[in-house]
Amino acid sequence: MKRSNHAMANRKTGVLWVLILTSVLSGSACRPDIASVQGPVTSDIRVLIENIHYEGDDSYLLVVSFINASPKDVLLQPIEEGFFIQTNRGWAHLEVLKGRMGNKHENMILPHNQKKEMVSLIGIPRSIPDLFRTYEGDLSLMYKYAYAIRTREDSGTASQRSDEVYCWLRPGTSQWILREGM
C-alpha cells in the first residue's frame, strides 16, 4: 500500500509541475492582458463545470456555469477560453463541435445573485497521442478562460479574470469528478 501512495504522490507532483510549466510556457503567467486582477466584482464571480454528459462517438456535452454572488449586475466579455485535455507532453486544445466558445463579440450580462450556463459539445478523441490517464484510467479535462468584467453601470476600465477549472472524466461515460482546490 505504501508503494501505491508513493506513486500517487509522485503523479500529483508531476501534474502540478505540468500545470506550472504550461502556465509559464504559454506566457499566461506574465502577460498583463490576461493576468488575473482581483477587484470588488471579480472576486464574486465563480465559474464551474456544472455537468458533463457523454453523447457517444467521443463527444461530450459540457455545461459551464457562471455565478454572480456580487450585489451588482455584471457584464462578462470573453477574451480567451477553451477546453483542454492532458497529455504526457502537456495540455492539448480540444475542438468545440457545437455551442458558444471563444466568440469575443458575445458578451454575457450576469444579473446579481444569479447564474447563467454555457453549453458546449466537445470532441475528445481517444486517439490523441500520449493521452494522459490517471491511475484509475480517467482523463484530466481543463476549461481555461479569461474574461473582462465590469458592472453594467460602469463605463470605465474593466477588470480581468483568468483561471482554470479542472475535472477528471471517465472515458466513454458521463462519470466525472470536479477537481477543486487546484
Q: What are phi and psi of 71, to 5 degrees?
A: -80, 0
74 vs 162: CA distance, rounded Å? 16
Is 165 in contact with 49 (CB distance < 8 Å)? yes
H-helix or E-strand spanning residue 67: strand 59-68
> What are 86's strand-pairing partners?
91
5 contacts: CB under 8 Å, gap ≥ 6 = none
173 contacts: CB under 8 Å, gap ≥ 6 = 54
Instruction: Compute the average pLDDT of residues 52-71.
Output: 93
pLDDT-derived band at 149, boundaries 50, 70, 90: confident
Residue 125: is its pLDDT beyond 50?
Answer: yes
Q: What is the mean pLDDT of the chain?
A: 76
Residue 122: is its pLDDT beyond 80?
Answer: yes
Structural domains of the chain, ranges and CATH numbers in brackets: 36-179 (2.60.40.1470)
pLDDT score, position 176? 96
Residue 181: is its pLDDT beyond 80?
Answer: no
95 vs 164: CA distance, rounded Å? 17
pLDDT-derived band at 88, boundaries 50, 70, 90: very high
8-12, 41-45, 48-52, 109-113 — which one is most confidently predicted on average?
A: 48-52
For residue 34, give the amino acid letter. I
- Say which residue the cell 461515460 belongs to: 173
| Residue 73 or 7, more confident | 73
Q: Label residue 162 exposed, middle or buried (CB < 10 Å: 0-12, 13-18, 19+).
A: buried
CA angle, 63 then 104 then 85, to 5°: 45
81 vs 97: CA distance, rounded Å? 15
| Residue 25 or 169, more confident | 169
> What are 137's strand-pairing partners?
none
Is 140 in contact with 132 (CB distance < 8 Å)? yes
